[in-house]
A and B are shown apart, each in its own frame.
Chain A
Amino acid sequence: MELDELKSAWAQYDKKLEENLKLNEELLRKMNLEKTKKELQHPLIGEIVNIIALSLIILFIGSNTIKYLHELRFSIPGFISVAIALFGLTTTIMKTNKLLNIDYYGSSIIALQKEIASVNKFILTQRRIEYFLIPILIIAMTPIAFKIINNVDLYTRLTLFITEIVLILGVSFPITLWVNKYLYDKKFQNAKRFLEDIERFEREETVNE
């Protein structure tokens, strides 16, 4: 059977649908059509919260690192914390920017799906890096945070400090590895594969022309 024959069967089917499909107007009227606007904002709200939290960390740790600049045991982890938080802030701003710039309504299918898949891939890559950086950030931040908040020098209480590091690393790294392997790797591969499919779909054009 040829596609053209099936096309005429499809036209018949369309005619039958025209006669038999009913639109429940009352239900459509009842539907809350404005709801979607709020739902679309959810990923953005998360990113904005991240921006605020990271900015506060940078300000708080940054200003106190300068205060203890000459005490290297505080200033070095302070700078490491600020560097990690700055990296997080930059990528979060990039994510927010990408999410805000997705043209949902003016784009062709290829352009929109490619954009969504690229943003997805970017977010998943960043998330995997973030999972590895968070324990390092906590460890680096702790001595300076203890000093500022409790006026306790963790380096003089080595047992407490080492226990804390062992606990953070012992708990967070296996979780990080597990989450990345079983949750994000699959999602990442999925996004990557879809992006490759779209690019293949586009590439055929270049080959054919």
Chain B
Amino acid sequence: MKKEEFISLIKVNRNLIYKICVSYCKDEENRKDLEQEILLQLWKSLKSFDGRVKITTWMYRIGLNTAISFYRNENKGNVKKIQLDESIITLSIDEYNPEKDQNIILLYQFIEKLGEMDKALILLYLDDVKHKDIAEILGISESNVATKISRIKLTLKDQFKTI
């Protein structure tokens, strides 16, 4: 794949990368680094993409794996800095500010409390990824995906029962 095709692929799936970064990194500087790290890993892994799974399934797998590794490095204070100062994917806050969206704030607060693996699971569920694809991305069975989602639903119910 040429760089121009890669740019088009990222353009189409920019939401996916953005949501992974926001879910795994609270700090804006680290989020920018994670975004670049995911882009680097996606570019590097392109050669191994054989089309057996959907491109988005593959992007989730690379993105989430990078985020989990990065998040753990971030916690250890060992974040690898890359060369760019600006963010490649930006949100025009003037037109839409998610920080004013109460439900989204609550959801991100809930996601933040989850462990690394559950965080990946809930992100995929919220993005309406099929159980079969979630199972493929995470490496667990479909029945386990269903069980885990039910468990998270119960936790959510407890957390948001006052709302």
List A residues at the B interface (Cβ < 8 Å).
1-3, 6-7, 9-11, 13-14, 16-25, 27-33, 35-37, 39, 104-113, 116, 187, 190, 194, 197-198, 201-202, 204-205, 208-209
Q: Which of A23, A30, A190, A198 contacts B10 (CB 8 A)?
A: A23
Q: Per DSSP, are chain B's interface residues mostly helix, strand or loop, or mixed?
A: helix
Chain A to chain B contacts (Cβ below 8 Å), 30 pairs = A1-B160, A1-B163, A2-B153, A6-B126, A14-B19, A17-B96, A20-B92, A21-B15, A23-B7, A24-B87, A24-B88, A27-B84, A30-B84, A33-B39, A33-B44, A35-B40, A37-B44, A105-B62, A108-B136, A109-B65, A109-B139, A113-B116, A194-B72, A197-B116, A198-B117, A201-B140, A204-B144, A204-B147, A205-B140, A209-B143
List B residues at the A interface (Cβ < 8 Å).
3, 7, 10-11, 14-15, 18-19, 36-37, 39-41, 43-45, 48, 61-62, 64-65, 68-69, 72, 75-76, 80, 82-84, 86-92, 95-96, 98, 101, 103-104, 106-107, 115-118, 120, 125-128, 136-141, 143-144, 147-149, 152-153, 156-157, 160, 163
Let me know if A14 and B117 touch, CB within 8 A.
no
CA distance A11 to B65 in the complex (A): 23
Q: Which of B62, B86, B127, B128 contacts A27 (CB 8 A)?
A: B86
Residues of A within 8 A of B87 (CB): 24
Residues of A within 8 A of B139 (CB): 107-111
CA distance A113 to B65 in the complex (A): 7
Residues of A within 8 A of B163 (CB): 1
Let me know if B138 and A29 touch, CB within 8 A.
no
Q: Which of B7, B43, B96, B107 contacts A9 (CB 8 A)?
A: B107
CA distance A35 to B101 in the complex (A): 38
CA distance A186 to B103 in the complex (A): 37
Let me know if B40 and A21 touch, CB within 8 A.
no
Residues of A within 8 A of B72 (CB): 190, 194
Residues of B within 8 A of A202 (CB): 140
Closest CB-CB distance, B113 to chain A, in whole Å?
A: 14
CA distance A108 to B139 in the complex (A): 5
Residues of A within 8 A of B152 (CB): 3
In the complex with contacts A113-B65, A202-B140, A7-B125 CB distance below 8 A? yes
CA distance A37 to B45 in the complex (A): 11
Closest CB-CB distance, B77 to chain A, in whole Å?
A: 11
Let me know if A23 and B88 touch, CB within 8 A.
yes
In the complex with contacts A9-B104, A28-B7, A197-B116, A22-B92 CB distance below 8 A? yes
Q: Which of A2, A19, A197 contacts B157 (CB 8 A)?
A: A2
Residues of B within 8 A of A104 (CB): 41, 45, 65
Q: Which of A24, A109, A197 contacts B90 (CB 8 A)?
A: A24
Let me know if A113 and B88 touch, CB within 8 A.
no
Residues of A within 8 A of B64 (CB): 109
